[in-house]
A and B are shown apart, each in its own frame.
Chain A
Amino acid sequence: MSRIGVFICHCGENIGRTVDCAQVAQAMGELPGVVHSVDYKYMCSDPGQALIKQAIKEHNLDGVVVGACSPHMHEKTFRKAAAAAGLNPYLCEMANIREHCSWIHEDRAEATEKAKGLVRFIVEKIKYNRPLSNIFIPVNRRALVIGGGIAGIQAALDIADGGREVILVEKESSIGGHMSQLSETFPTLDCSQCILTPRMVEVAQHPRIKLLAYSEVESVDGYIGNFEVKIRQKARSIDVSKCNGCGECTKNCPNKKIPSEFEQGLGFRTAIYVPFPQAVPNIPVLDRDNCALFKGRAKGVKKQVCGKCATVCGRRAIDFDQQDSFITEKVGAIIVATGYQLYWIGKEQESEILHGYGEYGYGTIPDVIDGLQFERLASASGPTGGKILRPSDGKEPKKIVFLQCIGSRDRAKGMEYCSKICCMYVAKHTMLYHHKVHDGKAIVFYMDIRAGGKGYDEFVRRAIEESHALYLRGRVSSLTRNGDTIRVQGVDTLSGEPVSIDADMVVLATAMRPQPGITSLAQKLSVSYDLHGFLNEAHPKLRPVETNTAGIFVAGACQAPRDIPDSVAMASATASKVLGLFSNEQLEREPLIARVDRQTCTGCFHCERVCPYGAVERFEVKDRKGNLIKVIAEVNQGVCQGCGTCQATCPSKSIELDGFTDEQIFAAVNAL
């Protein structure tokens, strides 16, 4: 059946010195099915390639084996040459007689024998190669971004500016994420709102961005280029199309003492509210748990309680009976940018591996706050107008103790990882404090100072040398109440001195954790996550913003603790990946993927179980009348990566990996 051509390369002296190439070519020429076998000095050179092309035509070859260097070096070269001569490129293969032979052996006879063996493997294998053609998958050139923090905003804007449509899904009523809560930002100390707000507005106004705030992803189907996403638009109790953001409802809501999430509990909001003045979209949301009307309904009170907001709304936008609604979007790529939450030291932890800190009073000591609360105190638009005041009595604290690594680097009660950004924001906090309270003293307990970024260490040194923050190396043992101060008991391990401080306020740099609910989202997306729920990148170094599921990317603090520069860099990287993906209408892929034999497949789905990519799908075989005959496996061409695990697992040998079929491998082994 076969008309195989064999080409043995000398690689100058590289192969020729130890392998008798002519002898190999001659031996191969004697193999059944080989009709042409030659050796040549440099196969990859233009004349070398010409030799192959010419032979293909002259001898009407249906297989080409090049015995030369590693296929990693030149397989593409020779396949291209073969294709140029009209041969299906997948009928050309290489045998490695350089890296795996001439370069590692000295004895010429032995090396020549081995080279013959290696080429023979491939000659036998290629007899069973099939012509294959690249696979094309259509691409839906719209992207979904999940999470509207700075990472999601950046990714959405970059893609939209690149000319593609974006759907941005944010679970809260406004985009902005944590960055909107920050006062000033390291390492430059520019005002967070000032740099963020314009970007938020840009999102709202961008013609190619569809912003779905107060929404969540319900389910995801499909694969790269062809995802189908179901999105739940949560009931805001407001008809978005009617509301003009006048704020009358908010002003008139009598329920004004609800702790504000945005202010981290340091300020209050109404039941119908906009989380912060710069919110995008600037449309209120009605918090049904805290609304008098809904409480009344829950209690079964017949008469309508309150309803003021609806009364004052000139636009009649308020809809107390609004229900969640669902929409479905088709997208080709998904970016996950769901960000983080902070660890809290309280007793009730949702995870068994977390315990909270009894020695720090489980968060019950007044004036022990966390970093985000400090951000709100320091923020000019915050509950104190930017004055640093104690939550308990509104006094200005003259001595603040900052504790780093709370919940981080703590295998006993928190997480073993380093949260990466807290060293920096604590330094920032000491500076902000120093700027605002000149006679105040900031004391920091730290374990290491991790400030590995451009200008970062210099920033921390400035806090120490210019703002005179006193850094004590050590973890604090306990926080206890002492009158209206907090007794901080620690040790400075550098001097070995026990330290006891009566602080007016204590700020905890608590660990960064992934958002709640991230794992269920990850499962919907078939994206893996680590022990803590941070999403896994495909490769920490070489594919840092891709996930193992093709077409799904990660940006920002949902992947690991990240600061703003990192989050934005990742976001732009995902956008460029997505735009790259969208640059063609179709995706072209090598066809070395698995195929199911529908006749023999028994539908046991062992393959489905072992496939690392979830590429095996269920296919219903029906007769002409549409009656279900059986359910068998089918490989999604867009998803399969060609590892072959399914094939080795299939009990009935019904699934085969093209390029590495059983036939091909056995043929090679038989050539032993």
Chain B
Amino acid sequence: MSTSSQPLALSAGTPHNRSLSAQILDVTGLDPARCYQCGKCSAGCPMASEMDLKTHEIIRLLQLDMRERLLASESIWMCLTCETCTTRCPNVFDPAAVIDALREIVLRENPGLVPRRISAFHSAFLDQIRANGRVFEFGLVASYKLRSGALFADVDSVPGMLARGKLALAPRRIEAIQDIRRIFEQCAMERPR
């Protein structure tokens, strides 16, 4: 899985508390040193076959503090949060939570690294909530397609959905939408510890 041309040079006495591992420990309470690389997480991961870095490799790069490669990897966006890894890890480690935390770090530090379709989806989805308090699926699909550029994928499904009464064409907004707006504002402001 090596891509870098320079060998990893483990910096002199990198204090443990400035590493990416330390950041993760701070956010999740999980110390990546705990993982002993058994690979059981990857073995059960439904997305492993599509990932360039498998779940255990994500944790390994964390242990090696290979920040750039890890944060630029598409794999951290492929996780479905199905919790299979977390449920099965023999070390009571929680890779799913670690991956979530990594995503958050990327979004904060370098949002340009998020794969376009994925960021499009999440943005579209969260926009829906921010606007209406709930997800209005037709709006979600439309907004996602505009953001992702995947304009024509799935268009044939719209009539089928409509015919089955499964797509509402107008959004329904909740009453206390100001609550939701405030939540969004404050959560965006709150720097994770």
Within 8 A of A (CB), among B1-32: 1-2, 4, 7-10, 12-16, 31
**Alpha-carbon distance between A472 and B65 when the two chains are bound, in angstroms:** 13
Q: Which of A316-324, A493-501, A522-530, A567-575 contacts B (4 or more CB under 8 A)?
A: A493-501
- What 1/0 flags go to A483-520 for Cβ under 8 Å of B? 00000010010111111111000000000000000000
* Interface residue from A398, A461, A470, A498 paired with B2 (Cβ < 8 Å): A498
* Interface residue from A399, A439, A492 paired with B64 (Cβ < 8 Å): A492
* A465: Cβ under 8 A from any B Cβ: yes
Contact between B13 and A501 (Cβ–Cβ < 8 Å)?
no
A residues whose Cβ falls under 8 Å from a Cβ of B: 398-399, 439-441, 443, 461, 464-465, 468, 470, 472-473, 489, 492, 494-502
Contact between A464 and B2 (Cβ–Cβ < 8 Å)?
no
Contact between B33 and A465 (Cβ–Cβ < 8 Å)?
yes
Q: Which of B55-63, B124-132, B156-164, B170-178 contacts A (4 or more CB under 8 A)?
A: B55-63
Contact between A494 and B60 (Cβ–Cβ < 8 Å)?
yes
**Alpha-carbon distance between A326 and B33 when the two chains are bound, in angstroms:** 59
| Residues of chain A with a CB closer than 8 A to B122's CB | none
* B34: Cβ under 8 A from any A Cβ: yes
Contact between A468 and B33 (Cβ–Cβ < 8 Å)?
yes
| Residues of chain A with a CB closer than 8 A to B13's CB | 398-399, 439-441
* Interface residue from B7, B14, B61, B66 paired with A441 (Cβ < 8 Å): B14
Nearest CB in chain B: distance from A388 CB, A: 13
Nearest CB in chain B: distance from A367 CB, A: 15
* B81: Cβ under 8 A from any A Cβ: no
Cβ-closest chain B residue relative to A492: B64
Contact between B9 and A495 (Cβ–Cβ < 8 Å)?
no
Cβ-closest chain B residue relative to A498: B7
Our count of residue pairs bridging A and B at CB distance below 8 angstroms stands at 62
Cβ-closest chain A residue relative to B57: A495
| Residues of chain A with a CB closer than 8 A to B14's CB | 441
Contact between A500 and B1 (Cβ–Cβ < 8 Å)?
no
- What 1/0 flags go to B41-57 for Cβ under 8 Å of A? 00000000000000001
* Interface residue from A398, A464, A473, A501 paired with B9 (Cβ < 8 Å): A501
Contact between B7 and A470 (Cβ–Cβ < 8 Å)?
no
| Residues of chain A with a CB closer than 8 A to B37's CB | 473, 494
Nearest CB in chain A: distance from B40 CB, A: 14
Cβ-closest 4 pairs across A and B: A498-B7, A500-B7, A496-B2, A398-B13
Contact between B4 and A497 (Cβ–Cβ < 8 Å)?
yes
**Alpha-carbon distance between A169 and B31 when the two chains are bound, in angstroms:** 52
Cβ-closest chain A residue relative to B9: A500
**Alpha-carbon distance between A473 and B33 when the two chains are bound, in angstroms:** 14
Contact between B57 and A464 (Cβ–Cβ < 8 Å)?
no
Nearest CB in chain B: distance from A401 CB, A: 9
**Alpha-carbon distance between A464 and B37 when the two chains are bound, in angstroms:** 13
Q: Size of chain B's interface in residues, with CB distance under 8 A?
A: 23
| Residues of chain A with a CB closer than 8 A to B4's CB | 497
**Alpha-carbon distance between A499 and B113 when the two chains are bound, in angstroms:** 26
| Residues of chain A with a CB closer than 8 A to B36's CB | 461, 464
| Residues of chain B with a CB closer than 8 A to A440's CB | 13
Nearest CB in chain B: distance from A285 CB, A: 43
What are 28 A-B pairs with beta-carbon distances under 8 A?
A398-B12, A399-B10, A399-B12, A399-B13, A439-B15, A464-B33, A465-B31, A465-B33, A472-B64, A473-B37, A489-B7, A492-B8, A492-B60, A492-B64, A494-B57, A495-B2, A495-B60, A495-B61, A495-B64, A496-B1, A496-B2, A497-B8, A497-B64, A498-B2, A498-B8, A499-B9, A501-B10, A502-B12
Nearest CB in chain A: distance from B29 CB, A: 14
| Residues of chain A with a CB closer than 8 A to B12's CB | 398-399, 441, 502
Contact between A497 and B2 (Cβ–Cβ < 8 Å)?
yes
Nearest CB in chain A: distance from B181 CB, A: 43
| Residues of chain B with a CB closer than 8 A to A461's CB | 36
Cβ-closest chain A residue relative to B53: A495
Given contacts A441-B14, A464-B33, A495-B1, contact A470 B63 (CB under 8 A): yes
| Residues of chain B with a CB closer than 8 A to A499's CB | 7-10
| Residues of chain A with a CB closer than 8 A to B63's CB | 470
Nearest CB in chain B: distance from A457 CB, A: 9
Cβ-closest chain A residue relative to B33: A465
Contact between B66 and A497 (Cβ–Cβ < 8 Å)?
yes
Given contacts A398-B13, A495-B60, A495-B66, contact A500 B33 (CB under 8 A): no
**Alpha-carbon distance between A502 and B10 when the two chains are bound, in angstroms:** 8
Nearest CB in chain A: distance from B13 CB, A: 5
| Residues of chain A with a CB closer than 8 A to B16's CB | 468
| Residues of chain A with a CB closer than 8 A to B7's CB | 489, 497-500
Nearest CB in chain B: distance from A479 CB, A: 15
Nearest CB in chain A: distance from B3 CB, A: 9
Nearest CB in chain B: distance from A491 CB, A: 8
| Residues of chain A with a CB closer than 8 A to B31's CB | 465
* Interface residue from B10, B34, B57, B60 paired with A465 (Cβ < 8 Å): B34
Cβ-closest chain B residue relative to A497: B8
Cβ-closest chain A residue relative to B34: A465
**Alpha-carbon distance between A439 and B12 when the two chains are bound, in angstroms:** 10
Cβ-closest chain A residue relative to B2: A496
Given contacts A439-B15, A443-B10, A468-B16, 18 further A-B contacts (CB under 8 A): A441-B12, A464-B33, A465-B33, A468-B33, A470-B63, A489-B7, A492-B8, A492-B60, A494-B57, A494-B60, A495-B57, A495-B60, A495-B66, A497-B66, A499-B7, A499-B8, A499-B9, A500-B8
Within 8 A of A (CB), among B96-117: none
Most chain B CB atoms below 10 A, which of A443, A468, A495: A495
**Alpha-carbon distance between A492 and B65 when the two chains are bound, in angstroms:** 13
Nearest CB in chain B: distance from A466 CB, A: 9
Nearest CB in chain B: distance from A461 CB, A: 8
Within 8 A of A (CB), among B45-91: 57, 60-61, 63-64, 66
| Residues of chain B with a CB closer than 8 A to A500's CB | 7-9
Nearest CB in chain A: distance from B32 CB, A: 10
Cβ-closest chain B residue relative to A463: B33
| Residues of chain A with a CB closer than 8 A to B1's CB | 495-496
**Alpha-carbon distance between A494 and B4 when the two chains are bound, in angstroms:** 15
| Residues of chain A with a CB closer than 8 A to B34's CB | 465
| Residues of chain A with a CB closer than 8 A to B33's CB | 464-465, 468
Cβ-closest chain B residue relative to A399: B12
Nearest CB in chain A: distance from B37 CB, A: 5
Most chain B CB atoms below 10 A, which of A399, A489, A492: A492
Cβ-closest chain A residue relative to B16: A468
| Residues of chain B with a CB closer than 8 A to A470's CB | 10, 63-64
| Residues of chain A with a CB closer than 8 A to B60's CB | 492, 494-495
Most chain A CB atoms below 10 A, which of B10, B15, B36, B66: B10
Cβ-closest chain B residue relative to A485: B12
Nearest CB in chain A: distance from B73 CB, A: 12
| Residues of chain A with a CB closer than 8 A to B8's CB | 492, 497-500
Cβ-closest chain A residue relative to B15: A439
Nearest CB in chain B: distance from A397 CB, A: 10
**Alpha-carbon distance between A499 and B37 when the two chains are bound, in angstroms:** 18
Cβ-closest chain A residue relative to B65: A470
Nearest CB in chain A: distance from B48 CB, A: 16
**Alpha-carbon distance between A500 and B7 when the two chains are bound, in angstroms:** 6
